[in-house]
Amino acid sequence: MRKKMVDRSSLPIGARVLVLFAAAFVYPRDAAPQKTPPELRENQPAETVFKNIQALKGMRAGDLQGAMSFIASSLNVDCDHCHVQDFSKDERKEKLRAREMIRMVRQINEESFAGKNTVNCFTCHQGHAEPMALAPIVPPPPRATEAAAGKPAGPPLPSVGEVLGRYVLALGGQEALDRVKSRILKTVRLDGGNSGSVTMIFQKGPGRVLRSRESPGYSLWVGSNGTHAWAEDSLKSYWGLLNTFEQHAILRDAEMYQGSRLESQYSSVKVKAAEKLQDEDTYVVSGTSPEGTSEDFYFSVETGLLLGRHIEEQTVFGAFQVRADFEDYREIGGVKMPFVVKWSSPGGAWGTRTSFKVLDVQQNENIPDEKFEGPPSKSR
């Protein structure tokens, strides 16, 4: 029987499904000695932070978790598909085979697609541990009739300013939003797992945020002081490394309301479509974040509120998508906010956040700036 080191349900993003096929990083106890400050580990080559890195030498340590999440979702598998408890050991043939597959895919892309990530794990596996050799038999799509083909596309789409203006009004208006200078959220997992784990989110403009997840035996802190993001856990282990997806997520957490940076900081912003999201009509506003993620925002045609946010993160193998659905909007101090946030990803194998519900909200509390500079031992 495997020895359980920490409660996986309280670990940071991706920890429960971190599948390391070819590069074999290690469990926290086997991490390479930390000779650089923790906040710099994510920028080091993966082989200097983890043991037995082979096929992915030279990759940033902070990019490793995203790469493994991409593979996990592409094959719909978990960590133990390739790993034993000591992740650095090469005891399973699947792990050795995966190294060969990574090299094969890279060679194909280099020789046939000018180095672009055109072919990847999902190209052949499509959510199965074994590659799909035959195309499935499915009914052909219905052919459009001549009448449908000549039918007008519908009413013109509104402008970005109109959609975002309605959103601000639906939340309570710009004046009400501007009055919120800080916020403290107390949240719990939506699925009820690990009842002893509570996540506190501290927000303070401009751009300062702290996400503190604490439970018996394990705690994780991720934050940003507005210019520098950081992460650390109570074990001072791998799980406290600020991986790229977590870094992007904490910057989104700093938004005093979802999508507040869209008009001022995103590039190539446009209203690209009118689509259904969970049977509700929405306007889809797309853009590229300052971090480089491609995102779609789904605003309700009826209420103006933001119902969903689709995010494409880039990995060394290709894009990895996650989605947040926002529900149960309630008014707090004249401003509406969602009290339920559901995260989903391909196969349910990985998500940048665990779905949660808000238990308590405090606004305009006095939060000292030092709280956002580092974990409790450093910020006091």
Phi, psi of 157 (to 5 degrees): -75, 150
Domain boundaries, the chain: 8-125, 160-379
Beta bridge partners of 202: 184, 210
Instruction: Confirm if 224 and 251 have CB atoms less than 8 A apart.
Output: yes
pLDDT tens, residue by residue, 316-330:
888 889 999 999 999
Highest mean predicted confidence (pLDDT) among 11-25, 144-158, 289-303 = 289-303
Report the distance separating Cα 375 and Cα 210, nearest Å: 9
pLDDT category, 14, cuts 50, 70, 90?
very low
Report the distance separating Cα 80 and Cα 64, nearest Å: 17
Q: Among the listed ranges 70-74, 81-85, 276-280, which one has the minimum average pLDDT value? A: 81-85
Tell me the CATH number of domain 160-379, given options 2.50.20.10, 3.30.930.10, 3.40.50.2300, 1.10.3720.10. 2.50.20.10
Which amino acid is residue 103, in one-letter code? R
pLDDT score for 68: 83
Report the distance separating Cα 56 and Cα 22, nearest Å: 7
Whether residue 255 is predicted with pLDDT greater than 50 in this model: the reply is: yes
Which has more confidence, 248 or 78?
A: 248
Average pLDDT value for the chain: 83
Which has more confidence, 82 or 151?
A: 82
Which has more confidence, 290 or 13?
A: 290
Report the distance separating Cα 25 and Cα 49, nearest Å: 9
Instruction: Confirm if 274 and 287 have CB atoms less than 8 A apart.
Output: no
pLDDT score for 5: 37
Which tokens sit at 83? 């790993």
Report the distance separating Cα 253 and Cα 241, nearest Å: 18
Which tokens sit at 7? 């409660």
Whether residue 143 is predicted with pLDDT greater than 80 in this model: the reply is: no
Residue 117, CB-side half-sphere exposure with 13 Å CA sphere: 13
Report the distance separating Cα 301 and Cα 49, nearest Å: 48
User: Cα 181 to the chain's mean position, in Å?
Assistant: 26
Mean of pLDDT values over 237-265: 89
pLDDT score for 218: 85
Mean of pLDDT values over 232-241: 78
pLDDT score for 177: 97
Mean of pLDDT values over 126-144: 80
Share of residues in the chain with pLDDT > 70 (%) = 83
Phi, psi of 162 (to 5 degrees): -65, -45
In angstroms, the Cα distances linking 186 to 114, 203, 327, 362 are 48, 12, 17, 9
Could you give the maximum distance between any two Cα atoms of the chain, in Å? 70
In angstroms, the Cα distances linking 243 to 24, 259, 297 are 16, 22, 24
pTM (2 d.p.): 0.82
Report the distance separating Cα 172 and Cα 378, nearest Å: 37
pLDDT score for 11: 44
Instruction: Confirm if 260 and 309 have CB atoms less than 8 A apart.
Output: no
Mean of pLDDT values over 88-97: 82
pLDDT category, 375, cuts 50, 70, 90?
confident
pLDDT score for 203: 97
pLDDT score for 290: 94
